[in-house]
């Protein structure tokens, strides 16, 4: 008999792909999702991309009765429920903390009683803040940061007190967290709450620290979602992608198909009590990714470099994925070239409301854009 797995937040972008991956490997999948309007639109209907074999329970993770119903008979839980958005989290503080932190607490109280087989929680690269750096002397720096004065002067790179530029390195899981936003704090709380509870009650738990995930089913009209979705929304409306700072920020963009496979491997492996980076192993600048997306969409549109800075943004962060290879048997299979082509094919059939300017005005009005 097939085993039932619960995905909280499973009607969203990553969760829907994890559902597909699990169904393809013989699991039964149940999803608990509030279908928030910011992600799913004003009608908040079951998304057409959610596989027909997925059992959907619509409800809030903070509703005890809904949670009990969702957890009935499941052998494992993927906890993906979270409000997502660095900038938005800095002014919707109560809402982000309530959904992300309190929602996790209510889930864990029930998981502790049920003693499920595995708990996998979606964490984020945001917990690192800045990535790992190397000083000119060759020493490793885990606490690099930039002052507001630097940013106002458009001095974007990490520097020593003497003005020497630090070299970014792949960021391993042992790097000291540097929580630069309420969102980052809530994601770190989510992963640590799950790991602590899992250890205490004997529930094997894995926190997957996702880097920049992209692919079909992203919420294109949500201006607080992933950067590639925001760029895609602009380009589909023949608008220039807007880039903060100078566009030279280094990131790792990982296909959602690789992420979904990593999620399944986390369930089926012996990995427990560990946080693991999930990325592609490739680095690219924000400007380059905007240009490559425009090219695959056949849009002759150059990105606009704003020179502005958002509170909570970081300069360089990309992962060391050696631990994922070791404990999960994970290896990325989708190159950026193939992933962008697949994304472009999906985007060719989509429409998007470009809400970037409204987001920009909201943040600027609150002093969150420098």
**Which residues belong to the active site?**
183
Say if residues 32 and 70 touch (Cβ distance below 8 Å): yes
Distance CA 167, CA 161 (A): 15
Cross-strand bridge partners of residue 275: 207
Report the DSSP beta bridge partners of residue 278: 210
Structure tokens at 153: 């002067």
- Please identify which residue in the block is written with the tokens 């993927």: 78
Within 13 Å, how many C-alpha atoms sit on residue 122's CB side? Answer: 26
Beta-strand pair 4-8/304-305: unpaired
Q: What is the DSSP letter of 202?
A: T
Q: Measured between alpha carbons, how far is residue 363 from residues 64, 85, 179, 182, 318 in Å?
A: 34, 12, 19, 14, 26
Residue 15 near residue 40 (C-beta atoms within 8 A)? no
Question: How many residues would you count in the chain?
Answer: 370
Q: Which helix (H) or strand (E) holds 104?
A: helix 103-114
The secondary structure element, H or E, covering residue 207 is: strand 205-210
| Nearest-angstrom CA–CA distance, 6 and 29 | 6
Closest to 252 (Cα-Cα) out of 124, 355, 140: 124
Cα separation, 51 vs 33, whole angstroms: 14
- State the first-to-last Cα distance of the chain, in angstroms, to the nearest integer: 56
**Closest CA relative to residue 101, chosen from 37, 183, 9:** 183
What is the number of other CB atoms lying within 10 angstroms of the CB of residue 146?
Answer: 17
């Amino acid at each position: 008999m097939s085993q039932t797995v619960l995905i909280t937040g499973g009607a969203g972008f990553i969760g829907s792909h994890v559902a597909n991956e699990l169904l393809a490997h013989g699991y039964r999948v149940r999803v608990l999702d509030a279908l928030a309007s910011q992600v799913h639109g004003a009608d908040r209907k079951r998304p057409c991309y959610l596989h027909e074999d997925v059992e959907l329970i619509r409800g809030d993770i903070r509703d005890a009765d809904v949670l009990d119903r969702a957890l009935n008979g499941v052998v494992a839980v993927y906890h993906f429920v979270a409000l997502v958005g660095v900038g938005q989290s800095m002014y919707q503080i109560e809402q982000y903390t309530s959904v992300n932190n309190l929602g996790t607490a209510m889930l864990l109280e029930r998981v502790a009683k049920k003693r499920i087989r595995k708990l996998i929680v979606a964490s984020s690269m945001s917990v690192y803040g800045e990535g790992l750096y190397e000083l000119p002397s060759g020493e490793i720096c885990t606490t690099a940061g930039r002052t507001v004065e630097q940013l106002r002067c458009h001095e974007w790179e990490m520097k020593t007190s003497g003005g020497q530029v630090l070299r970014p390195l792949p960021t391993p899981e042992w790097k000291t967290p540097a929580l630069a936003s309420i969102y980052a704090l809530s994601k770190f709380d989510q992963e640590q709450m799950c790991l602590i509870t899992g250890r205490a009650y004997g529930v094997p738990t894995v926190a997957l620290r996702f880097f920049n995930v992209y692919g079909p089913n992203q919420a294109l009209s949500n201006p607080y979602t992933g950067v590639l979705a925001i760029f895609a929304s602009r380009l589909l409306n023949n608008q220039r992608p807007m880039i903060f700072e100078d566009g030279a920020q280094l990131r790792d963009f990982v296909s959602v198909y690789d992420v979904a496979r990593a999620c399944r491997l986390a369930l089926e492996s012996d990995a427990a009590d560990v946080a693991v980076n999930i990325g592609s192993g490739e680095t690219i600048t924000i400007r380059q990714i905007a240009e490559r997306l425009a090219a695959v969409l056949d849009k002759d549109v150059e990105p606009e470099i704003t020179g502005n800075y958002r509170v909570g943004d970081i300069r360089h962060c990309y992962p060391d994925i050696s631990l994922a290879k070791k404990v999960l048997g994970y290896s990325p299979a989708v190159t950026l070239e193939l992933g962008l082509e697949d994304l472009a094919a999906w985007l060719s059939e989509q429409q998007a409301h470009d809400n970037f300017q409204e987001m920009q005005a909201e943040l600027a009005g609150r002093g969150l854009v420098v």
